[in-house]
Structure 1
Amino acid sequence: MRQPIRKRRRKQNAGGDQRDRWMITYADLITLLLIFFVVMYAMSRLDTEKYKLVTDSLQSTFRSGDSILEQGSGLTGTADTEKHKNPPPAATGEKDPEPMTERELAFRKQEEELAEFMNIIKQYVQDNQLHNDIFISDEPQGIAITLSDRFLFDPGQAELKEGADPVLSKLASLFRDLNTTVSIEGHTDNVPAGPFYKDNWELSGARAMSVLRYFLDVSKLSPDIFQYAGYADTRPASDNTTAQGRQKNRRVEITVLRQLRQ
């Protein structure tokens, strides 16, 4: 049986409404997206004048030592910003440096003493034309004085020559007033030791001991300020394949260390 024409038209209109409803949702979505991008665009544009004002105020606050955590004024307005750009000396908030500790003062005094010590030794070497036998350098561990074996010892020997006395006596007079440790190290080349010593270890140690004994027995310095060692040929200063290099390796190094005695 055929439906009435009016009823069929009503069903057709209802189906058309259902099909077009998605356009309402789509339009809402497009509108929301448009609003979102407008807001993002507005947020991305900085007011350069306000930005400069804020950064200047922050910089002035940090320079003046003012802090919100310390109940300071924090960020200020335009007039305060201009005032803080060039604060008067009394308003800078700079704290006086903390006093140095006793140990820091002792190290500073020691550096002054080491500088004076180095100048005196350099002048002594220059006045006595000892450039070829005594070498001085300022190393991280201290002031290093390298003594060539040519004026200290005979070949293969560890007994001091008479000509070494003036130099060692001069050093001893300077060590007496230093509040530090003096390290004495003996070094050799790689040529085997002569008949008087078992090997270069024994020779290098004996030479360091001879210098130490001069300071203790002749100059009467306190043994508490010294340490000594022999390194044989394990710490060469130059190439052992040449006569000149071996000459540089045969040496005694006396280092005034950068450390305070207890």
Structure 2
Amino acid sequence: MSGRVLILGGTAEARALAAELQGAGIAVVSSLAGRVARPRLPVGEVRIGGFGGTEGLATWLREHAVAAVVDATHPFAQRISASAATAAAATGTPLLRLERPGWTAGSGDHWTWVDDLDEAARAVNAAAARRVLVTSGRQGLAAFAALDAWCLIRCVDPPDAPLPRAHQVVLDRGPYTLAGERALLREHEVDLLVTKDSGGDHTAPKLQAAREAGIEVVVVRRPPRPVTSTVADVARAAAWAVAQVSG
């Protein structure tokens, strides 16, 4: 086998894929954006930080004998996915998107879908919520700075100002349990939840807890992605990557 696979990572799926390919004897480099202070590291070689834009990524692909790229970034990491699509096309490098399925509302859910965090803040005001759990990450919280509602902000690293006038920050990372999410909503008397459509099981228990409590959920839709081949599970991504390297 020749060449290596670049995994644009930072997700549980990316870490699982790196382990799968390492086990198959494939040379793997996992790239992390470096936005989390203490990231969970995958097995194998890891690089942290940006490539210097699309041209920088294209140069890196050429200089490091990359046989294939798997974009396994977070569903909201829009910029790096766009760069990957352009750089892969410019260098003739095969590209696959590994993306977990989004969430779907079920019976008993009270969801309001919005396109971005600014619209999410307007939805919070429209709902006249008093106590809001915000789980949209530490970036973009300025959209909620003018809210009158009290906000419980949960994120991995400390967020930057501006923040809601009345708030509390909880530093934590998933996976979360249903019992823990029930207790969090109850303890803080949350009457509305704001989340992004991240998908997956690690952070889904909050949705079930909200359903059980009759709490409204404001869900931010995923941003548009470049059109590329996409799979939803690690096994299919691993098989594709092995085929690119060995073919």
Structure with larger Rg:
1
- TM-score, length basis structure 2: 0.26
**The structure with more helix, counted as a fraction of residues:** 1
Work out which structure has the larger RCO, using CA pairs closer than 8 Å and 6 or more positions apart in sequence. 2
- TM-score, length basis structure 1: 0.25
**The structure with more strand, counted as a fraction of residues:** 2
